[in-house]
């Protein structure tokens, strides 16, 4: 049975406002920060183990955190300087994470280990990507080396490049297309070559006409590479939704894109592959969109990973009013940062600062059974029924209702006229399903 119900496909999701205020703003490099706070957990999977200690000297590109398992990714220093110590800091999800704190020396001396990798085949290619510390740069943070190591490589026939960038405000990926299109193409060619993938589809929402035009121009004479303009409708960039829109295939419940012959990579991730193969510089910087109703000068900023958010805000002219909420990521699926001292992570693609008025939650009313959450859900779920099953503690019903398919995109809460916390309830229902009935 399809994971998508028989709703009209174009009706799924939500017509969220775009607010792409920085779409035409060239990326600006943030000056060297006064200190770096580098968490050892910036990816899905096992955290890294610090391999430096207080007083150690580090260089740009030095490994400071070793991967804690197969599903993990090394972490590198983006500065030369001295390690002040290893501190434990609480993340927004409540977990305590070890962080390497570094004071830069201002020299930015590059490690001798930074050199282009020798790549000759799939095995050495994956090894190089693993050494680079690359994770999914669209926000998920899944270690890329793992993604490029499917169980059956011969079954993969399509590489899908995610350039949808469907969240409001964020324009970091659009700038990748505009500023480094050759790296996007070169990265695609490398993945194709070493994984033996025949077909490539580049999915871009139509609200990025410059990106579409650039990629159409670069691919017009390239065989088996196509650009797919997509309807500007949230959450078009969600992996399963993007696959269905671009290929017509549907990922089975509990399955992976590789199960249906597809590998999905974010545009910034695939462009980084090209840059790394040429320079050997691991993932130590990240482009973020800094915006929100109280940011004085919204910008696209390239920052060293581990830079405290306060430095980005100051670089953008500061705030024009008291801060109500600081969000790392987009307003639909992003996470509220605990303070301005929280650092830039590998998978950060935006930092949004909102006023007290914008951050205030509407008072929820009673469910009026309008069904908008059902019609809007891109996975064809029934949040109303799931909420009822959750309230009753009915795990069997949660299983039947396929609660685990929820990707917590926020569409249900966005379209709810009663302003109920539907997404939060869905998240709790998923936890109950996983835990066998325990709240």
Q: Is residue 295 part of a domain?
A: yes
Mean model confidence pLDDT for the chain: 95
The answer to whether residues 128 and 272 belong to one domain is yes
Whichever domain contains 149, its CATH number is 3.40.50.11540
Q: Is 7 exposed, middle or buried (0-12, 13-18, 19+ CB in 10 A)?
A: middle
**Does a structural domain hold residue 22?**
no
Q: What pLDDT, in 10s, does the model give residues 46-104? A: 999 999 999 999 999 999 999 999 999 999 999 999 999 999 999 988 899 999 999 99
Give the domain extent around 239: 122-279
Residue 411 lies in a domain: yes
* pLDDT band with cut points at 50, 70 and 90 for residue 37: very high
Residues 129, 51 share a domain: no
pLDDT digits (tens, 9 = 90+) for 252-276: 988 999 999 999 999 999 999 999 9
Query: In terms of domains, do 264 and 152 share one?
Result: yes
Q: Which is higher by pLDDT, 356 or 10? A: 356
6 assigned to some structural domain: no
In contact, 148 and 119? CB cutoff 8 Å: no
- 360, 384, 404 — which closes off a domain? 360
Neighbours of 160 (CB within 10 A): 24
pLDDT tens digits along 380-436: 999 999 999 999 999 999 999 999 999 999 999 999 999 999 999 999 999 999 988
Query: Domain holding 38: CATH number?
Result: 2.40.50
- Give the model confidence (pLDDT) of 108-142 as tens digits: 999 999 999 999 999 999 999 999 999 999 888 99
pLDDT above 90 for 335: yes
- Clarify whether residues 255 and 385 are in a common domain: no
Q: Would you say 223 and 200 are in contact if contact means Cβ atoms under 8 Å apart? A: no
Q: pLDDT at position 5, please? A: 41
Q: Which of 314, 336, 360 is the last residue of a domain?
A: 360
- Residue 34 has a pLDDT of 96
Question: Do 337 and 420 fall into the same domain?
Answer: no
Q: Are residues 130 and 213 in the same domain?
A: yes
Q: State mean pLDDT over 364-388.
A: 95
What domain count does the chain have? 4
Q: Can you give the pLDDT at residue 145?
A: 97
Q: Is residue 13 part of a domain?
A: no
- Is 18 contained in some domain? no
* pLDDT of amino acid 318: 98
- Specify if 114 maps to a domain: no
Same domain, residue pair 193 and 267: yes
Q: What tokens were used for 394?
A: 């009915």
- My answer on whether 351 and 374 are in the same domain is no
382 and 253 together in one domain: no
Distance (Å) of CA 59 to CA 73, 110, 135: 19, 5, 21
What is the arithmetic mean of pLDDT over 26-34? Answer: 97
pLDDT at 4: 41
pLDDT at res. 92: 87
**Res. 6 pLDDT band, cuts 50 70 90:** very low
CATH number assigned to the domain comprising residue 351:
3.10.20.600
> Phi and psi dihedrals of 265, rounded to 5?
-130, 140
Tell me if 147 is assigned to some domain.
yes
- Is the model's pLDDT at 9 over the cut of 60? no
Per-residue pLDDT band at 439 (split at 50, 70, 90): low
Exposure of 63 in the CB half-sphere (CA atoms within 13 A) = 16
pLDDT at 207 over 50: yes
Inter-residue contact 77 to 60 (CB < 8 Å): yes
Whether 192 and 274 share a structural domain = yes
Q: Are residues 261 and 345 in the same domain?
A: no
Residues 150 and 241 placed together within one structural domain of the fold: yes
Q: Work out the average pLDDT over 276-294.
A: 98
Show which of 329, 344, 360 is a domain's final residue. Answer: 360
Alpha helices, H only, 220-328: 239-247, 267-279, 309-315
Q: What angle do CA 87, 91, 96 make, to 5 degrees?
A: 50
Q: What is the pLDDT of residues 289-316, one digit of tens each?
A: 999 999 999 999 999 999 999 999 999 9
């Amino acid at each position: 049975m399809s994971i998508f119900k028989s709703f009209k496909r174009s009706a799924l999701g939500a017509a969220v406002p775009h607010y792409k205020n920085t779409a035409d703003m060239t990326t600006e490099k943030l000056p060297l920060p006064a200190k770096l706070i580098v968490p050892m957990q910036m990816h899905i999977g096992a955290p890294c183990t610090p391999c430096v200690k207080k007083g150690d000297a580090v260089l740009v590109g030095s490994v400071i955190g070793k991967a804690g398992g197969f599903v993990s990714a090394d972490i590198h220093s983006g500065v030369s300087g001295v390690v002040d110590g290893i501190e434990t800091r609480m993340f927004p999800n409540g977990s305590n994470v070890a962080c390497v704190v570094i004071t830069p020396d201002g020299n930015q001396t590059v490690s001798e280990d930074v050199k282009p990798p020798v790549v000759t085949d799939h095995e050495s290619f994956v090894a190089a990507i693993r050494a680079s510390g690359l994770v999914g740069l669209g926000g998920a943070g899944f270690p890329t080396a793992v993604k490029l190591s499917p169980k059956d490589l011969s079954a993969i026939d399509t590489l899908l490049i995610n350039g949808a960038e469907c969240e409001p405000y964020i324009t970091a990926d659009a700038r990748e297309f505009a500023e480094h299109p050759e790296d996007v193409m070169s990265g695609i060619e490398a993945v194709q070559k070493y994984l033996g993938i025949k077909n490539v589809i580049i999915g871009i929402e139509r609200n990025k006409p410059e990106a579409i035009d650039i990629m159409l121009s670069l691919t017009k004479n390239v065989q088996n590479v196509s650009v797919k303009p997509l309807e500007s409708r949230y959450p078009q960039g969600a992996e399963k939704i993007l696959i269905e829109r671009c290929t017509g295939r549907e990922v089975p419940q509990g399955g992976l894109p590789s199960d249906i012959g597809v590998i999905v990579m974010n545009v910034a991730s695939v462009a980084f592959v090209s840059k790394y193969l040429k320079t050997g510089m691991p993932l130590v910087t990240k482009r973020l969109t800094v915006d929100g109703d109280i940011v004085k000068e919204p910008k696209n900023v390239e920052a060293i990973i581990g830079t405290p958010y306060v430095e980005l805000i100051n670089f953008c002219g500061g705030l024009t009013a008291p801060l109500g909420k600081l969000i790392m990521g987009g307003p639909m699926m992003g996470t509220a940062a605990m303070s301005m001292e929280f650092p830039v992570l590998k998978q950060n693609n935006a930092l949004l600062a909102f006023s007290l008025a914008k951050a205030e939650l509407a008072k929820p009313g009673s469910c009026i059974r309008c069904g908008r959450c059902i019609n809007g859900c891109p996975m064809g779920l029934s949040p109303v029924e799931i909420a009822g099953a959750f309230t009753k503690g009915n795990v069997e019903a949660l299983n039947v209702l396929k609660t685990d398919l929820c990707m917590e995109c926020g569409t249900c809460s966005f379209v709810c006229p009663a302003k109920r916390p539907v997404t939060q309830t869905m998240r709790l229902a998923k936890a109950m399903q996983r835990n066998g009935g325990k709240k």
